[in-house]
Amino acid sequence: MIALYNSKTWKLSSYLIALVLIVPVLVMLVGGVSASTQLFAHLWQTVLPSYIENTLLLAFWVVLLALFFGVFSAAIITQTNIVFKQQLRWLLLLPLAMPAYLVAYLYTDLFDYAGPVQRTLRATFGWQSPTDYWFFDIRTLPGAALMLALVLFPYIYMLTRGAFEQQDQNLIRASRLLGLTAKQSFFKVALPLARPAIAVSASLVLMETLADFATVQYFSVNTLTTAIYDTWLGYGDLGAANALASILMLLILFVVLAEQRSRAGLRHQSARPNLTRELIQLSFGQQLIASIFCWALVILGFLLPITLLIIMAVQYSDVAQLSVLFSTGLNSLKVSVFAATIAVVIALSLGLYQRLHKDKYRKIPQLISGFGYAVPGTVLAMAMLSTLGPLDHWINGLAEFLGFSAPGLILSGSLFAIVFALVVRFSAIANGTIASGIKQIPQSLDYAPATLGVNLIGSLTKVHLPILSPAILVAWLLVFVEAMKELPAVLLLRPFNFETLSSQIYQLISDEMLEQGALGAILIVLFGLLPIVLLNKSKEKV
């Protein structure tokens, strides 16, 4: 590997970007270290152990369930002969478009005592009160785990399916020739080979779970996020809250590093992924079970919730809502477009820096710019205020010193804060997508322009950016959708007269009035479908 360019400006700006993105995290860590221990002791003696236990239990169950859903559905789609495979293949991705808090609300509505399911049961069997029969309570930790797993499993499904499809078919053939059945070959060869993909996706699910705020709040499952909230807003102790947040972040970082460790040296690439695959032939009964399994995931994770939303929208919508929807929708678009664009530009700059610059430590900027993903939105909002607040004061002080009028809170009190928070949080997503796009460009293409007398700028604009355009589009859309869904950061950093779709829906949900926001919720889901459709298309084209 020989890097090509040695631009000082590029180097400086890359490190500067990385620094800017990591500063909020550092501010939080520093704040946490200097926290008072008194409140901490009180929390530790009373509720903190249960919060931690809940956090770990929730993480455990979500990952377990999501693995069960994701790995099995991926295996069924790629390895067996069930019918409607082509349809299920992309249908299984749809739950990704559903924010977990929406699903949680909709299912509570559906399965509650007063919901249609229990009403029907009571009417059918003549039961009178809750004591007459047992019905699962959805507002519990397992319930929350199920809800999160239902919308997060597609991460695992997507990456595992990709791994299965990329596998060298000759390995499976070799195993068949060595006397294993198709099923045995799957468990002994294909599944172990897919381990890196499964590990990556499981760690993604884990991160999303630990960062979740709205679902656990709605289900009153008290986790570390609750504790952070309580300490900050209840006890008004930002230091202790920072300390707790730091613990949470270190926990997530540990997971990420462990995952990277575990798959070091597990690289598996195939030269022959496209050979026709010998499918596992399931009996009719087995096919039926496998089909039901996949369809159940699609229905529970997407079709049923979206149907419920549509019914709500039809029943409750009026013109007044449409105008509110338009303004909040526009706000959502605004922040998401800004965040996605900036995140992609940063990802491109750092990704290409890593690829093309001579700097010995060229990997560092991209690496540290991804840390923000491990910080839950609530925590990030807190860090953002701690970072931008003092900065604003400094700017105002300077302006006054120079004889200008104070510009006000131009950073912490404007869209800037939200967009910055979203960029810090979702840069890792853009980084990942762009980096894998860059990885697919053969190294020789970096050199070719120079041998034709074309300089760095020409090379970037005529070769790298055009070739990367599919990856850029995907990265942009992924960040865009995540930004649309993101809640806590928006909730805590909004400027005046600023509601987004997600913050509005959250407020309506907390007043048990989602009906009023059903249209907005549908809009979020529809936006969420965009990248899925696109990803699916680009995969099929290859």
* Touching other proteins, residues 434-473 (CB under 8 A): 442, 444-445, 447-455, 458, 462-463, 466-467, 469, 473
Binding mask 43-62 for other proteins (x = CB under 8 A): x--xx--x------------
Taking CB under 8 A as the criterion, the residue among 30, 64, 81, 130 binding other proteins is 130
Q: How far is the CB of 452 from other proteins (least distance, A)?
A: 3
Query: What residues numbered 266-325 form the site for other proteins, per CB under 8 A?
Result: none
Count of other CB atoms within 10 angstroms of residue 355: 21
Instruction: Give the single-character DSSP code of 80.
Output: B
Neighbours of 244 (CB within 10 A): 27
d(CA 169, CA 158): 19
Q: x/- contact string, 143-172, with other proteins (CB under 8 A)?
A: ------------------------------
* Backbone phi, psi, residue 27, to 5°: -55, -40
Between 286 and 341, name the residue whose CB sits nearer to other proteins.
Answer: 341
Scanning 86-94, 129-137, 182-190, 261-269 for contacts with other proteins by CB under 8 A, the matching segment is 129-137
Compute the least distance from the CB of residue 103 to other proteins, in Å: 17
539 counts as binding other proteins under rule CB under 8 A: no
Terminal CA-to-CA distance of the chain, rounded, Å? 27
Cβ count within 10 A of residue 67: 18
Q: How far is the CB of 356 from other proteins (least distance, A)?
A: 11
- Min CB(233)–other proteins separation in Å: 5
| Local structure of 84: helix, strand or coil | coil
Task: Say which residue the tokens 């750092």 belong to.
Answer: 350
361 in contact with other proteins (CB under 8 A) = no
Measure the CA–CA gap between 407 and 400, rounded to whole angstroms: 9
Q: Is 326 in the site for other proteins (CB under 8 A)?
A: no
Q: Closest approach of Cβ 430 to other proteins, in Å? A: 15
Site string for other proteins, 376-395 (x = CB under 8 A): -----x---xx--x--xx--
- Cite the DSSP H helix spans in 269-318: 284-298, 304-316
CB of 258 to other proteins, least distance (A): 29
Size of the residue set binding other proteins (CB under 8 A): 79
- Binding of other proteins by 530 (CB under 8 A): no
What residues have CB less than 8 Å from 410, skipping those under 6 apart? Answer: 392, 395, 416
The Cα 199–Cα 190 span in angstroms is 15
Tokens 């070769």 correspond to 463
User: H-type helices in 299-414, by residue range?
Assistant: 304-316, 319-356, 364-369, 377-401
Span 485-514, contacts to other proteins by CB under 8 A: 491-492, 494-499, 507, 510-513
Distances (CA, A) of 348 to 14, 16, 117, 342, 431: 10, 15, 50, 10, 8
According to the binding rule CB under 8 A, does residue 4 interact with other proteins? yes
Choose which of 275, 322, 408, 436 interacts with other proteins (CB under 8 A). 408
Please tell me the distance from the alpha carbon of residue 372 to that of residue 377, in angstroms, as a whole number.
9
CA 499/CA 324 separation, integer angstroms = 9
Is 236 a binding residue for other proteins by CB under 8 A? The answer is yes
Shortest reach from residue 502's CB to other proteins, in Å: 14
Joined tokens for residue 252: 């997530």
The Cα–Cα gap between 486 and 317 comes to: 24
Measured from the CB atom, is 76 or 505 closer to other proteins? 505
Closest distance of CB 451 from other proteins, Å: 4
| Minimum gap (Å) between residue 62 Cβ and other proteins | 19
Residues 86-125 that bind other proteins (CB under 8 A): 112-114
Asked if 232 is part of the footprint of other proteins (rule: CB under 8 A), the reply reads: yes
